[in-house]
A and B are shown apart, each in its own frame.
Chain A
Amino acid sequence: MKKKHYLFLLFITSFMCIQSQNRKTQNDWLGEFKVGVRVQKTQKLYWENGLTVDFTSPKILKNRLHLGLSYVSSRFGSAMGSNAIKQDNFLINAGYFFRHQKKLQPFGRLNTGFFYADYESEIFDVLPNTALLLSLDAGFSYQFDAPITLQISTGYNLNTGTGSAGPGTLFPVFYQLSLYYTLFK
């Protein structure tokens, strides 16, 4: 599990390095770069919380396309101090934001990534505990006067567990709330 955390950190660091390098060589390439926290509730299952970053560029659909990374886990939600299964979602996403110069922006987003559930006992090694994530979500983003952005959305996982394949705690419907701080613009 530690390897996966290191990989994720490496991914974020690489992403930020590329950002700063691009900034030096091509100042007009970077639109907005935001970091934030995400709270996620799955319908009839867990709270999974974590971190998220969001990036836009005037050169990619004039800031309308948002690219992002996120990591949410029940480790920071339902599994804290309880017997809920510890599970991690590593995601990259691309979202299209309407009314991009307004404060309130409706958006739709495509997410993909990796899911891992830790069953903790070797009795359950026979069960699938990883999956490719593929989901859609849609909602609203609100840009405050301060460098703060609030996003709420509802999403649907297309690749859920079926009993015959896939992790059993990968459920279809989820709700998200993300709060971003704009690092640079």
Chain B
Amino acid sequence: MNYKKSYFKLTVLFVLFFAACSEAPEINNETMLDGDQIFDPSLYNPEDYLVSLSVENPTEIQKNTPVLITVHGYSASTFEWDEFREYSTINANILISQVLLGGHGRTYEAFKESTWKDWQNPILAEYNALRSKGYTNINFAGSSTACPLVLDLIKEGKIGENGMKNIFLIDPIVIPSDKLLTLVGLVGPMLGYFESTNTAVEDLYYYRFRPQETLNELLDLIDKVRKDLQKGYLLPTNTNMKVYKSIKDDTADAVSAVLIYKGLKNSDGTPINVEMLDSQLHVVTRLEGRENVTQKDREIQQQVFDDMLTILMQ
């Protein structure tokens, strides 16, 4: 009798477990990046986005012009840096490479199968391509997850001495704001994916559904970077860094900036430059597609853009 009761309880548990396991998300192919109809435009015309492809044989002037590799965050696409590109086209003489992270800008399935190393590969590929073409003034600007990806490249020595002049980090994520992310390994397999609250415009450029596998990858990445920062390391010689961090951010906890400030120093051992922004937006440099954008948000965005361009043109 007891055996039968135990068997019944076990069966109920299994049924509950599998019932809790979510099915595939309901993707609208016509309105969501997650589907099989909308892809990042850089996949169709990479030469419009990557300086290494757009200029076959750069002149000496072009080789010495600042090139900024801009990289978006987790679940985003090249769209995240469109506003900066438009602003800098009017206000400065720089070249911009808008890099699409691996596994991004494609389908939900492609995203699900990608690892954080896959996300990172196109950054290094564009950096190496620019170096091999003779560009001497290479710079980097990353938002959110792009930041731990480039921090890892620095730590692993893949960006060497005199390799990059300036690195700008916008709302780097080392510590997530949603602390339940630390439990994704436990609850993720039951849920399958997490749904974000995108606006209709954001649905075109950001994955709405986040596979638990990719959240585990994100967690692995930031865990590695946090441990590297804990041990401490230096920027390459002649590379400067500036971190811009919103003080209230529901994606990348502001304490991420503290960890970077403590763990990463200039090559001469002096502290890196950090500016705390009086903003409540994650990645204030991208405002298009958001709801309820204020004048203050626009002012902060312009202030950051101007600051970056001033540093780049020095």
Contacts and interface: CB of A to CB of B under 8 A. Distances in A.
Interface of A: 43-45, 78, 82-85, 117, 119-121, 123-124, 126-127, 160-164, 167-173
A37 to B, nearest CB: 23
B179 A161 contact: yes
A83 B251 contact: no
A83 B229 contact: yes
B180 interface: yes
Nearest to B183: A173
B263 A163 contact: no
Contact of A85 (B232, B254, B258): B258
Given A171-B182, A172-B183, A44 B223 contact: yes
A120 B262 contact: yes
Given A85-B259, A126-B247, A171-B182, A164 B231 contact: no
Interface residues of B, number: 35
A126 B279 CA distance: 12
B300 to A, nearest CB: 14
Contacts, number: 87
Nearest to A163: B177
Contacts of A169: 175, 255
A163 B262 contact: no
A123 B179 contact: no
Contacts of B39: none
Contact of A173 (B182, B247, B276, B280): B182
Given A83-B263, A163-B176, A167-B255, 9 more contacts: A85-B258, A124-B257, A126-B278, A160-B179, A163-B252, A164-B249, A168-B258, A169-B175, A173-B182
Given A78-B230, A168-B253, A168-B254, A83 B179 contact: no
Contacts of A162: 177-179, 250
